[in-house]
Structures are given as C-alpha cells and as structure tokens.
Copies of this chain bind each other. A is one copy, B any other.
Amino acid sequence: MTNDWDLVISGGTLLTLSEKMEVIEDALVGVRDGAIRFVGKKGDGRPPEADSAETIDASGCIVMPGLINTHTHLPMVAFRGMADDMPLMEWLENHIFPAEGKYVNRQMVYDGALLAMAEMILSGTTTFCDGYFFEDRIAEAAAVAGMRAVVSQGFADFAMPDHPTRESVMAAADRFVRRWLPYAPMIAPAFFCHAPYTCSPATLTTVKEAARASGILYLTHLLETKGEIAQIEERYGKKPVRHLYDLGVLDDRTICVHCNWLTGEDMKIFADCGVKVSHNPESSMKLAAGVAPVPAMLERGIVVGLGTDGSASNNDLDMFGEMDTAAKVHKVASLDPTVMDARTVIRMATMEGARVLGLEKITGSIEVGKQADIIIIDLKKPHLTPLYNGYSHLVYAASGADVKTSIIGGKIVMRNRKLLTMDVGKVMENVRRIAENIKAGL
C-alpha cells in the first residue's frame, strides 16, 4: 500500500513568505514527490497526517522556507581564519590568490564544498549560488548533499587554477552547461565573469552571449570597493555600470554581487534592465569595502537577495547572522531605524533570493506547487523566549544553530541537528587534512 503523502509537517507557526506573508498557527504542510501539495491549518480540510509515510511534529517551532544564499565561494571554507583584519587587496593578492594557486585542486574543491554544505544545511540554508574553480565538483557535492544549487563556471582574463590558459575556458564552459542543465530543478548551471576589472569587454560580452544562448544566469562581482570606479573610468572612460550597460550585458538574467558603491544613476539602469543584486553585508564590512545602498535599491524596485560570500571574508555561512547584520547595518548607516525591518530582511533571505536566482517558481516560499524546501526552527530556548513576533526572532535573536530540521526538495537532509546525507566527521577530517598541508606551507 502506498501513502498519499511522503511527508507531513504538523503543528508550529508557519511563516509562508507568500506574497500575502500569510502566517498560519498550528499548521499542516503536506509533501508529495518533492513538492508542497497541501498548506493549511491542522483540522482544516482533509487531514493528510493519517496517510503519510512520515510525519514531523513541529509544535513549539517555526516552520518556514529554507534560506537562500545568493553568493558563495564554498571551497574557501578551507581558508577560514587563515588571513583576517587586513586590507582587501593585501588579503586577496598576498594571501588568498597565492593559496588558491597552490592548494586549489579537484579534491580540495569537492572536500571544501561538502564541508560548506554541512555548515549550510545545519544553519538552515537549502539553496546556494556558488562561483569557484572546478565548479563541476561543487555540483557533484551538491548532488551528494542533496542541496539546491546554482553553480557558476568562472571566467577571468588571468590564469585560473582550473584553466591555466584562456583557450580552454569556453569549450569547458559549454561542456559544463550541457552536463548540468538536465539536473533542474535541483542544479542549475550559470556563468560568472569575475569582475569588470579582471574581464575584458570581449570576455564580458562573449560570456553573456553564451549565457543567453543557453538561457542561464550571468553573474559578476561589481563595485565591491570604491577604487573600482576610478579603475574602470581610467580604462574605459566611464563608470562601471555604464560600461556594463554599454556592453549590453545587463538584463534580468544578470546578477551583480556586492554593489557597495552604486549611485542613483546606476540604480536607475539596474531598475530599467531588471538586473538583480546579491547583497553580502558581513563580507563587505569585514573587508571594509563599503555598505551597499540597499534601502535605496528596494525603493526603486530592484530585486535584492542576501549572501554570505566566501568563508575567508565572513567567516561563516550562517544566513541568520547575515540577516541580523543586514537589518542593523543599514539602520545605523542611514541613522534610520525603520529601514530594513525584520520582514523585509527575511524576504531577502527567502523569496527575494529565489527571484534573484530565477527560482521564484521553484522555492523561496511555502505554497502549493513549490518544491518542499522547508526548515524548522526550535523556539524552546531561552534566547527565543518569549515569542511576540516570529520575524523579529529569526532576524534579531536566532542563529543557525536553532534550526532543528532541514528539508530540500521533500527530502529530510538534517533531522534533530543530525546530517543525513553525509558523514560529517569524515567531511571535517578531510578539510582538516587540507588545512594541515596549507599551514605547513605558511
């Protein structure tokens, strides 16, 4: 006999993150074939519980969509804490780039990515968008971990660990896209041009054309530091956003990461073109890169998601910490405590993140028809007591460690803080061994 439901989540406070931001007390969520097929109140309508292969009791918990991290460089977990508290260019050129040149290889990327996924699942992230080297290996790790992923093949005009010569990149990128396109909606390939200052106009446009031809996302770091403005102006006689606009690479499948020094004029171009933004406040604070004008972007209707960036500049992948910081830093930067309220920030970490990644029909909210990307947060803890407002707790008081259970595409990948898709002890040990090797060379 088969059950009507594969999984039912019963009880708790459900934050749907739907357009109406519906909140359901004592809720019931029914999952079948990886998708959400029932959202309601316990006792309302048909009761799927009796007929489910598995039921999770979520009473005393918040049930909400899994978090979406719109910008990661996952294998950089291997460099976590290796170099801190120094200027961005010194950090990048004297520490990160040399370490990457020496230690990044297919195995390191896979081991690092799995460790990062363990950390993400344990802290409630169910979807990420990554850009690194040997991205094939990250997609493979995502398949093992059971995470939803946008994986980006990187491009730059300098030699990269996976592409020592420029000629091999385009052909490899084509193979990469053809390999992973069939894995939708779990894995989506994308292209990532490192930055306007490391990619020539020819690289930027060729890659965008290829991305358009395959219907995939196109990403670039943009305006992380103020210095980039002068650099691009000197080289091309115009500001970075105008430069990208004139090259024709800005459209609604383009994601610009950081955007700390976006002007009003830049925002108008973004809004007109439908460009999406990945906002990484903690990384940009730690590197003293700047504070992105996110409240102004939101006012202009630009879609903004949250991201952590790599673990060498954060140094964790906890989206709860990122939400907390995002809410607070814009308040103090503008001296206006009403900006970036808790609801806005939670939307950025869920539904808006899904829109950034073009996954708004797949994930980001708990609604019938969407994939079952769901997390359950345990409120029975001193720092989450009492409860007036779930959104407030999630942004201002919770941490990743409060996530009890994580479900991706209907599959339980973490239950009661135990990872079910990997041997976490072994995953940690593998990266410890890589770090021992790096330490020996420091």
Contacts and interface: CB of A to CB of B under 8 A. Distances in A.
A406 B18 CA distance: 42
**Dominant SS among interface residues on chain A:** helix
A290 interface: yes
Contacts of A402: 401
A-B pairs, top 4 by smallest CB distance, nearest first, are A386-B435, A401-B401, A81-B392, A285-B328
How many interface residues does chain A have, given as a range? 35 or more
Contacts of A78: 386
Nearest to A399: B399
Contact of A317 (B288, B332, B383, B400): B383
Given A318-B399, A337-B85, A386 B288 contact: no
A387 B332 contact: no
Interface in A271-327: 282, 284-291, 311, 314-318, 321, 324-325, 327
A439 interface: yes
Contacts of A81: 387-389, 392-393, 396-397
Contact of A290 (B80, B316, B329, B335): B335
Interface in A115-136: 115-116, 118-119, 122-123
Interface in A191-243: 226
B338 A87 contact: yes
A167 interface: no
Interface of A: 77-78, 80-82, 84-88, 91, 115-116, 118-119, 122-123, 226, 282, 284-291, 311, 314-318, 321, 324-325, 327-329, 331-332, 334-338, 340-342, 380-383, 385-389, 392-393, 396-397, 399-402, 424, 427-428, 431-432, 434-436, 439
